[in-house]
Amino acid sequence: MSAADHHAPNHDYHLVDPSPWPALGALSGFVFTFGLVIFMHPDIVGAESVGVWIAAPGLLLILATMYFWWKDVVKEAHKGDHKPVVQLGLRYGMALFIASEVMFFAAFFWAYFDASLFAGQEILFDRVEHTGGVWPPVGVETFDPFSLPFMNTLVLLLSGCTVTWAHHALREGKREQLVQGLALTVFLGVIFTALQAYEYSHAAFGFTDGIYSSTFYMATGFHGFHVIVGTIFLAVCLVRSMRGDFTPQQHFGFEAAAWYWHFVDVVWLFLFICVYWWGA
């Protein structure tokens, strides 16, 4: 037996090399969170700007950690370290991540339904708000659900179709259709974000104007943030597809992006029905 054969792994698992990214990621998250706390409670140091100067480097370090860590993961995939059992572990990890995101939205929906189903007096930002016993509260001018919100629903549902088309094209080895489907999905994601921003700019209420506006912006705004993240995720997959990184047999990076995008689709359907339609 040669020395190379003696040191070769005799299992399908991947033992990762020592990496600085977990420790740097934890440190970056701490710095960013600490800066946000100082920014939101300027009385601690006497100025909001201090929090900004702490949070900004933390955010940049988080983004740098994400970039270089995922770059290493891509390199590992190219080296053949992602055997089927490793890919299964990655799928479990992505599924658990999406489950944690479901809990985020469950909290926002809980707040919305608690305020709407038991409309009365709500304590908001250290003041008591009288909703008039109805929902939406008296004086709140809501959006027409079948104008821009309905258009955004169609845009997002169509993007779910295009990303599924791209996935099928990838599994069948049709690279040109894969790129086309992903490009259309990214384009539709940008359109959705632009329409959401336009809608916000024409809203008749601000974030702190009451319990309705606060729960509305928290739920729809957090979803909008997820759309932006998903669009970036898919744009990276588009670049990798053009480079030929994915194969019909190994393309977990694309699968993870598609799962995330379908999750964003489903959450928007609940938002449209519960917040825009029923809530209006």
Backbone phi and psi for residue 164, each to the nearest 5 degrees, phi listed first: -70, -40
Q: How many C-beta atoms lie closer than 10 Å to residue 95's C-beta?
A: 11
Domain spanning 82-278 has what CATH number? 1.20.120.80
Q: What is the pLDDT of residue 138?
A: 78
CATH 1.10.287.70 intervals, the chain: 17-81
pTM of the model: 0.86
Backbone phi and psi for residue 42, each to the nearest 5 degrees, phi listed first: -65, -15
Q: Tokens 């809980």 appear where?
A: 110
Q: What is the pLDDT of residue 159?
A: 96
- For domain 17-81, give the fold: Helix Hairpins (1.10.287)
Q: What is the pLDDT of residue 251?
A: 87
Low-confidence ranges of the chain (pLDDT < 70): 1-11, 48, 119-133
Q: What is the pLDDT of residue 232?
A: 95
**Token digits for 141?**
């001018």
Q: What is the pLDDT of residue 114?
A: 85
Q: Is 128 helix (H, G, I), strand (E, B) or coil?
A: strand
Among 100, 102, 109, smallest CA distance to 218 is for: 109
Q: What is the pLDDT of residue 1?
A: 53
Q: What is the pLDDT of residue 210?
A: 80
Q: What is the pLDDT of residue 49?
A: 78
Q: What is the pLDDT of residue 46?
A: 72
Q: What is the pLDDT of residue 206?
A: 84
CATH 1.20.120.80 intervals, the chain: 82-278
Q: What is the pLDDT of residue 17?
A: 83
